[in-house]
Structure formats: structure tokens, C-alpha cells
Chain A
Amino acid sequence: EAGVVQSPRYKIIEKKQPVAFWCNPISGHNTLYWYLQNLGQGPELLIRYENEEAVDDSQLPKDRFSAERLKGVDSTLKIQPAELGDSAVYLCASSLGAAPYNEQFFGPGTRLTVL
């Protein structure tokens, strides 16, 4: 079974530039999550989708971050414009359902460096 796929794995951009990250969850997983992981910290939830609906985006900085999951499968996370403090690893995860006891499966992440 293929795992969660993310691309790109690494991205270096200059501040004020836009950037986008892509995620393909495990087949059949209707719940998708985007997390931010800073160095030396645990992941922090940015947004959670159930199918194509964003059911929790309370931690997403909506002035510069946006996300979409148009057909309830793949998802894209965008930052525009990027700031120096956005340098981090962006992780995508998926789970079989929305129940809180379902484990989440993580992709390898995208390491963003903003110069």
C-alpha cells in the first residue's frame, strides 16, 4: 500500500515569493491534515479536511496561507507571500476516518527554507 505522498521534498525561496505544497493521501483515507513542524518541536495542526470540507482551520494563518482539497483526494497548501518565519517542515497526514482514535499516517514532509 502506498503511503502519503508529498512534493516537493525541499523548497528554497526568497521572502515575499509564493510557494505551494502538494499532498496525495493514502487511498481511501477521507480525512486529511496539514501540520507545521518547527525544528525541535512536535507537529502543530494547520488544517483538517473531511473529504473536501475544511472542518478545522482555526490554526491556519489565513492572511497568507490557503489550502484546498477540491475533489476530496489531493490537497494543496499555499503560502503567499512567504516570510522568513515560515521556514519549517510542512507535513501532510491522512486517516481512514475522522474518529479521534484513528491513527494518522504521515508523509515525508516538505522542508521549506525562506531566504
Chain B
Amino acid sequence: AQSVAQPEDQVNVAEGNPLTVKCTYSVSGNPYLFWYVQYPNRGLQFLLKYITGDNLVKGSYGFEAEFNKSQTSFHLKKPSALVSDSALYFCAVRDDGVTGGGNKLTFGTGTQLKVEL
């Protein structure tokens, strides 16, 4: 069964500093990896995804993520955090549908990012 681990319930960072939100995954076939952000009382917003190719993926609002196959990780990063980045971030994985892994999007438990002045 596929799974996603977000080891940090909360990440605190000062505005202007770089941020990293960690994610590791387990999947039977080739992974498709996604990051979503959720603001209070709102649905999830898509940030970026990894399908194949370049391990560094750039997404919305200055976010990027680095795919590391050997470490089965897909950490979210931003060079300079903003207070407005404070939100709940979800990592998700879906297998390629070929290897019988269920072909559904599996989410982590989320990491609350708090950016302070």
C-alpha cells in the first residue's frame, strides 16, 4: 500500500528565511508526487507536481520541490518565506496505475507552516 509521511506537524520560520517542509513516500511503482496548500475554511490548492524528468520542480508562489528517488523524498522549499505563506501543506502521492497500487491519491497528515515577522 502506498503512503506519505510528513514528519513535522509544524514548521516555524522567520519571514525572509528559507523554508523546507519535508515529505517522504512509499509507492509500488513510479510515483507521481504533489504538493497542496490549504488555508483555513478553504479547499486544497495545487502548488506543484513531479511526473518525470528534472528532479527540481518549480510551482506557484515561488515554491519548488526536489524529488530524490534514492531517499524517496519530495521536500517542499522556498528561498524566502512570507507571512502569507502560513498555511497547512499536504504532500500526496499517486502510483502510475500500472503496478496495481490502487491508482488513488494518498495524502500525508499535513504540516502547519507558520511564518513570523
Residue of chain B at shortest CB distance from A104: B105
Tell me the bound Cα distance from A106 to B103 in angstroms: 18
Count of B interface residues, CB-CB < 8 Å = 26
Interface 9-residue window, one of B62-70, B77-85, B107-115 = B107-115
Q: Quick check: is A48 within 8 A (CB to CB) of the other chain? A: yes
Residues of B within 8 A of A (CB): 4, 32, 34, 36, 41-46, 49, 51, 90, 92, 94-97, 103-110
Total A-B residue pairs with C-beta atoms closer than 8 Å?
56
Extra 7 A-B pairs, beta carbons < 8 Å, given A103-B49, A106-B43:
A41-B110, A42-B90, A45-B104, A48-B104, A103-B34, A106-B36, A107-B43
Interface of A is mostly: loop
Looking at the complex, which one of A6, A56, A103 makes contact with B46 (CB distance below 8 Å)?
A103
Bound-state CA distance A108–B42 (Å) is 5
Q: Shortest CB–CB separation between residue A103 and chain B, in angstroms?
A: 5
- Measured CA separation A4–B42 after assembly (Å): 12
CA distance A79 to B44 in the complex (A): 23
Contact with B along A81-115 (1 / 0, CB 8 A): 00000000001010000011101111111010000
* Assembly CA distance A56 to B105 (angstroms): 12
Tell me if A18 counts as interface (CB < 8 A to partner B). Answer: no
When chains A and B are docked, how far (Å) is the Cα of A100 from the Cα of B41? 27
Binding site for B on A (CB under 8 A): 4, 6, 33, 40-45, 48, 56, 91, 93, 99-101, 103-109, 111
- Asked whether, in the complex, the Cβ of B108 is within 8 Å of the Cβ of A42, the reply is yes
| Pair B105/A106 contact, Cβ less than 8 Å | no
The 10 closest A-B pairs by CB, nearest first: A42-B107, A106-B43, A106-B44, A100-B94, A103-B46, A101-B51, A101-B32, A108-B43, A45-B104, A100-B97
How far is it, in angstroms, between the C-alpha of A41 and the C-alpha of B110 when the chains are bound? Answer: 7
Task: Say which residue of A40, A56, A93, A100 sits within 8 Å of B95 (CB atoms).
Answer: A100
